[in-house]
Structure 1
């Protein structure tokens, strides 16, 4: 199959490279210039697995403006706040035959995709797969080959031939897909999972294993999960796992499957990028308001993440101001010394 990977970040690279290794034609499309420059300079992407076996993997890379292909499926792996811009820049190569597939974190992306693709051409899912972008042109797949799993569903909840072809290619790529016919429930179950792990690990700057081994991890997770499940029941959303199953998944993923992983929200925070908390805990809180339920814990955590972002932004400004002050003092000292020598 022919794929265009819209967004060549950590997850975009993992999905795209594994699909490429499974025999598919994959072109990556990105807009981050340092990333683009590095990949072109070195002739591909350096890929590691759990910090080991670092090797160069050649890939095809384009910008939205330079790509002229006609893929069967476009796979979207951008940040929620970047998606609208990517769609606008890429729309010149969209057509009615193509399918759009995504496993992005959070909620809010489906409505944006619907502006460009018909409902029967949209497939979305969730991924319990850990990947880290170490820097431009350098990605680390966390976990052994075949680790992790994913769910996928059609927006129409009616799988067609292309859906099954995509499923087969993802299976060949060792992504361990499960096909469901519960679209919103599939996506919301992962949002709830992330509302615990991503948010709490980010706030305390810890790996998933450190959270999972904390004696009160169950209590913290259960409070957030119960609140979210109560809201989904009011909204008429049937989730693909029970509350107890979701707690079990949290335990297994944090302590056993991915204990050394820092979630993507943490990676955004430490690199001073906006987080997706409004599309995760914030989305749950907004859904609660729509159904007369005040999700106090999710609201509180959303505001705490924004406070952390605000604090880091102020620290960055202070560091830049101090750096500029030192540079100006050094410049003034050099000028004074030069004038004295001239005199």
Structure 2
């Protein structure tokens, strides 16, 4: 399968790296020239369980270059930051052909509609992944893929041949992948995990090993998740989660102590976070359905304040 990972940062490289090892033709697209140059020159270095291995990968900053080299892709995995979705899929037009499938594995809610506007709803799949990654330097990441689940599905809940084929390719690469017939519920299940740790990690600046040692942080996380679950229920979303502590526990399963939530990684790079698409989504849905979300509102305000203090 010809696959392009659009937004190949730490997570995208983790997924793209193991798909490459499984024998697929994978192109990793990132706007950062240093990262792309390092992967071209030395390969992608994946660190798992403290051990590094190098994977020879295709990397580029330009989808036009990929189209010239390999034509349209079978699958485009979208992993850019939420606020870059529209411009990223527009730039990817050269590799989107008649039979290309576009799969969002981004954090938060709402990306599928943006992608559907750009390429047509019939081409779009939704998904969520619990895999993770941390950027150590250009071309060098910590990969958190082992034992972590990925869920993908058709927007209409159908069981199509293409979604089954993609799930089989992922599973063949060691990415534990299931096809969901309730993709909105699946997306909310993952959103709860991001609600549990993302903003709190960003505000405290703590990696998981330290974040999980603070009882007050745990209490706040569980309360934020409980709010989100109430919002989902009011919105008619069928969740698999029944206990608000579950997403807090799930977030750290199988990840090293030095792992950092993506919001914290963004702040450390001096860039904006996806807070509007995570806790901010909970707040907006709460307003829509008449459910108060004071904890999530506070977390949004705190992260926005931290973003404001970033060097400009």
CA distance in 2, matches of 1:95, 1:257: 37
Matched, 1:108 2:106: no
For the 8 Å contact 2:202–2:261, the answer to whether it is kept is: yes
Q: CA deviation at 1:268?
A: 0.5
Aligned CA RMSD, in angstroms, stands at 1.9
For the 8 Å contact 2:126–2:154, the answer to whether it is kept is: yes
CA distance in 1, matches of 2:18, 2:254: 23
Matched, 1:82 2:80: no
CA distance in 1, matches of 2:129, 2:179: 12
Paired position in structure 2 for 1:210 = 210
Paired position in structure 2 for 1:338 = none
Which ranges of structure 1 fall in alignment gaps of 5 or more residues? Answer: 318-343
Q: CA deviation at 1:200?
A: 0.6
CA distance in 2, matches of 1:215, 1:8: 34
For the 8 Å contact 2:73–2:97, the answer to whether it is kept is: no
Which ranges of structure 2 fall in alignment gaps of 5 or more residues? Answer: none
* 248-257 or 191-200: bigger deviation: 248-257
CA distance in 1, matches of 2:235, 2:274: 22
**Deviation beyond 6 Å, 4+ runs, structure 1:** none
Matched, 1:67 2:66: yes
CA distance in 1, matches of 2:55, 2:12: 14
CA distance in 2, matches of 1:116, 1:46: 33
Paired position in structure 1 for 2:188 = 188
Paired position in structure 1 for 2:56 = 58
Alignment of 1:243-322 (within 5 A): 244=243, 246-254=244-252, 257-311=255-309, 313=310, 316=311
Alignment of 1:228-247 (within 5 A): 228-242=228-242, 244=243, 246-247=244-245
- What secondary structure, in the 3-state scheme, does the structure 1 residue paired with 2:146 have? coil
CA distance in 2, matches of 1:47, 1:257: 14
Larger Rg computed on CA atoms: 1
For the 8 Å contact 1:2–1:26, the answer to whether it is kept is: yes
The number of residues matched between the two structures is: 308
Q: CA deviation at 1:295?
A: 1.3
Q: CA deviation at 1:108?
A: 2.5
